[in-house]
Structure 1
Amino acid sequence: MSLSLGYQTSQVPRKGEKLTCKLNKSTYRLKQASRQWFLKFTAALSSHGFHQSKSDYSLFTRGHGHDFVALLVYVDDILLTGPSPQIISSVKEVLKGHFKLKDLGYAKYFLGLELSRSQQGIMISQRKYCLQILEDTGFLEAKPVTTPMDPNLKLSKNEGEFLKADDITCYRRLICRLIYLQISQPDICFAIHRLSQFIHSPTKVQLNAAHHLLRYLKQSPGQGILISPITSFHLKAFVDVDWGSCPDTRRSITGFCIFLGAFIISWKSKKQATVSRSSAEAEYRALASVTSELMWISQLLKDLQVKILMPTTIFCDNQAVIVIASNPMFHERTKHIEIDYHFVQDKIAYGFLKVLPIQSSQQLADMFTKALLTSVLSKLVSKLGIIDIHHPT
């Protein structure tokens, strides 16, 4: 090993020699190992003309048009894509000059995500991961249900008998595994959000609700998102709120989903940070949340050289929120809302956003704010493009 900068010693090296250190322990598996690896990988790509994205530091791009290539890295797993197979091959050769690589061909399995190609598009699912969860929890032969959560169930932190230490560990492990599963299954997003609220001190009621979710997964473990070829790159979002629905904190639940063309690319179910005094205030805060997400996605798509049609459309079922967002007036209903939420008005005035009304029955984000009946849930799931290619027709 070379001596560290600033290291001083009384020993004088002979002519033509230099002092070195003996390596007693490798930095692999240490805290700084992944950071040092990423810095070395970034330096290697930068020396060959790649640019690191400011929206996602794990994304690197190079070139324009037919010569464009994008590289996504997670630790030592790499995805490489572009319109030219020759350019991709040349990038592989460049990487082989710096690192020892194993080329696995077309992406079929990446970080638990299964990628299936057909004439209709690319299907993203986590069937193997889901079946592994069901097998480990003993629900592989359970009787399936049609909803991820009972619509009549209102979870509270003081409802039910608290679990024992071993059961608490099992509950936490299960919820952590389910959180990763929602990457390809937006329909379970709200249920996982609610169950994760009680991860510190769960009760038998919450454990039974988690078992209910497992029985829902048993119905279609191969369910995922179909990404079809599109010609119109237009961003649109649906945003909704369940006002004061948390029985413990009386905070509202924000839910939104974002589409690029006809397929969903982002979704979220999250409890708001503060208590809202009205449904209009809660909806306005949710509108600010989805606006922030849209700004990040638009910058990411710009790095991928995807031209987004302006303005971005947001569908909201609250007329008061549409008026507040479009009319930058200071009045009684908005003076207590934090200033940082009012950047929505600036984005509308700039032309980045366009907020449109929608009927509550057509609000796709409704499934991210509350538990729904089977008839309503199945209709919304089909509109999100969620299918199960392994399910018998």
Structure 2
Amino acid sequence: MSDLLNRAGMVDCKPLATPASTTQAVTPYDELFDSPTQYRRIVGALQYLTITRLNLLYVVNRLCQFMHTPAVEHWAMVKRVLRYIKGTLDYGLRLSCSPIASIHAYSDSDWADCPIDRRSTSGYAVFLGTNLISWLSRKQRTVARSSTEAEYKALADVAAEVTWVVSLLRELGLHTRQPSTLWCDNLEATYLCANPVFHARTNHVEIDYHFIRDKVASGEFVVNFVSTKDQLADVFTKPLPGPRFIALQDKLNVVSLTPCA
């Protein structure tokens, strides 16, 4: 992190509370940045930082979409991320001994949030006990025709990830054989997982997303509704105001790792 600030000439910059603005959309601009190589180097390095600083995942994912033609405004967004990093140099992902070994995951989607192609952003967070072990922020491959479809696709993404985690734990002899719990803040999407007839209007959804129904029917997964205020994956799908962002990063175990005096 210190090396990133040094390379960008921002060692003495003023810190910010959040890495992304809630009012500025990430779109193409006419005025191109005069040093695209520098933009690519800094954003490329930020991708490695998300291995432990997962609260940067959403904004870094967005900045990566303009690697070929970065604009002046995109560089300004990179500088905002670096100003946030300046104030959180001692932050990292906390892993601790967990009294439980069950798997639960949160999935979320911001419907049609991209102003360029109107595709939605999916995000998920997978916990093994109290420890966060997998996370994602990614633009969906196709345009969703409703918020239910976008949330259902996000559920399918996290279902695939949890299936892999369960398979790995079984090989290691560590799986508890309890069903994994998936939390979603869209009530219709949770109904769709258990009752395909309830939403006949979603027949246009691609077949490969429907495998989650088989997982629920077999008892491998339990899909439950969670209120939006308790949706931890919210941080992976959109920029958030300061108090909400700080509260979620704390619940995701991104905390100051500086030893107490």
TM-score by length of 1: 0.65
Which of 182, 203, 211 lines up with 2:71 in the alignment? 203
For 2:22, the equivalent position in structure 1 comes to 151
For 1:239, the equivalent position in structure 2 comes to 107
Q: How does 1:292-311 map to 2 (within 5 A)?
A: 292-311=160-179
Q: State which drifts further: 373-382 or 325-334.
A: 325-334
For 1:122, the equivalent position in structure 2 comes to none
User: Would you say the 8 A contact 2:94–2:257 is kept in 1?
Assistant: no
Deviation at 1:222, TM superposition (A): 2.4
User: Would you say the 8 A contact 2:191–2:198 is kept in 1?
Assistant: no
Q: State which drifts further: 303-312 or 278-287.
A: 303-312
Q: How does 1:216-255 map to 2 (within 5 A)?
A: 216-255=84-123
For 1:183, the equivalent position in structure 2 comes to 51
For 2:240, the equivalent position in structure 1 comes to 372
Separation of aligned partners in 2, 1:354 and 1:231: 21
User: Would you say the 8 A contact 1:190–1:367 is kept in 2?
Assistant: yes
1:76-125 alpha-carbon deviations (Å, 9 max, x no partner): xxxxxxxxxxxxxxxxxxxxxxxxxxxxxxxxxxxxxxxxxxxxxxxxxx
**Match for 2:93: what amino acid?**
I
1:220-257 alpha-carbon deviations (Å, 9 max, x no partner): 11211111111311100011110000000000000110
**Match for 1:161: what amino acid?**
E
For 1:338, the equivalent position in structure 2 comes to 206
User: Would you say the 8 A contact 1:178–1:192 is kept in 2?
Assistant: yes
Separation of aligned partners in 2, 1:331 and 1:264: 33
Q: Report SS of the residue matched to 1:147.
A: coil
Deviation at 1:365, TM superposition (A): 0.5
**Match for 1:317: what amino acid?**
D
User: Would you say the 8 A contact 1:288–1:343 is kept in 2?
Assistant: yes
**Match for 2:249: what amino acid?**
V
Deviation at 1:329, TM superposition (A): 2.2
User: Would you say the 8 A contact 2:192–2:198 is kept in 1?
Assistant: no
Moved >3 Å (runs of 4+): none
Separation of aligned partners in 2, 1:333 and 1:281: 10
Separation of aligned partners in 1, 2:177 and 2:2: 40
Separation of aligned partners in 2, 1:333 and 1:270: 25
1 or 2 for the larger relative contact order (CA 8 Å, sep ≥6)? Answer: 2
The structure having more radius of gyration, on CA atoms, is 1
For 2:7, the equivalent position in structure 1 comes to 136
Deviation at 1:305, TM superposition (A): 2.4
User: Would you say the 8 A contact 1:244–1:253 is kept in 2?
Assistant: yes
**Match for 2:81: what amino acid?**
L
**Match for 1:298: what amino acid?**
V
User: Would you say the 8 A contact 2:156–2:209 is kept in 1?
Assistant: yes
Q: How does 1:1-393 map to 2 (within 5 A)?
A: 130-157=1-28, 159-164=29-34, 167-329=35-197, 332-390=200-258
Structure 1 segments unaligned to the other structure (5+ residues): 1-129
**Match for 1:153: what amino acid?**
Q
**Match for 1:217: what amino acid?**
I
1:260-307 alpha-carbon deviations (Å, 9 max, x no partner): 101111110000000010000011111100000101111122233212
Q: CA RMSD in A?
A: 1.4
**Match for 1:366: what amino acid?**
D
The total of aligned residue pairs comes to 261
